[in-house]
Homo-oligomer: A and B are copies of this chain.
C-alpha cells in the first residue's frame, strides 16, 4: 500500500466517510458534532475520522477538550487529476456536484432521524 492514491481512494470508498466530508464542506466541526447525525457509536466515527486523517483528507486539531475537524481538500488533487486523465471530463460542473451531494448527503440512510420503524 505504498502508493499515495491508495489511502485516499479507500477512504472515499465508504459512504459514511464521504458524508462526513460533505458535512465538513460547510464548516469545521467537533468530533461529537460530526457523530451526532449518524446511527453509530462515537468510537466508530472516531475511527472513520482517523482513516480520513491518515489519508490527509482532514486534519484534527485539539483546542481545549474538543478536537476540531477541518477539511483538507488538497488531498483529493492527486486522485482527481488521475481520474480526469482517463475521461477528459469537463471541468467543475457544480450543478452536477450539487446533485451528488443531494443524492447521497447526510440525510440519506445514515442519519438517526430517518430511521423510524421500517413499515408505516
Residue ranges of A at the interface with B (Cβ–Cβ < 8 Å) = 1-3, 5-6, 9-10, 12-15, 18, 21, 25, 71, 73-74, 76-94, 96-98, 100-101, 104, 108-109
Contact = CB atoms under 8 A, between A and B. Distances in A.
A85 B12 CA distance: 14
A25 B76 CA distance: 22
B91 A85 contact: no
| Best-surrounded residue of A13, A15, A77, A101 (most CB of chain B within 10 A) | A13
The DSSP consensus for interface residues of chain A is helix
Nearest to A101: B85
Given A9-B9, A13-B9, A83-B83, A100 B78 contact: yes
Nearest to A85: B97
Contacts of A12: 5, 9, 79, 83
Given A81-B93, A82-B100, 14 more contacts: A2-B109, A5-B100, A6-B13, A9-B9, A71-B86, A76-B87, A76-B89, A79-B83, A80-B83, A81-B89, A81-B97, A84-B92, A85-B92, A85-B101
Q: When A and B form their complex, which 5 residue pairs have the shortest distance between CB atoms, in order from nearest?
A: A91-B91, A85-B97, A10-B13, A9-B13, A73-B87
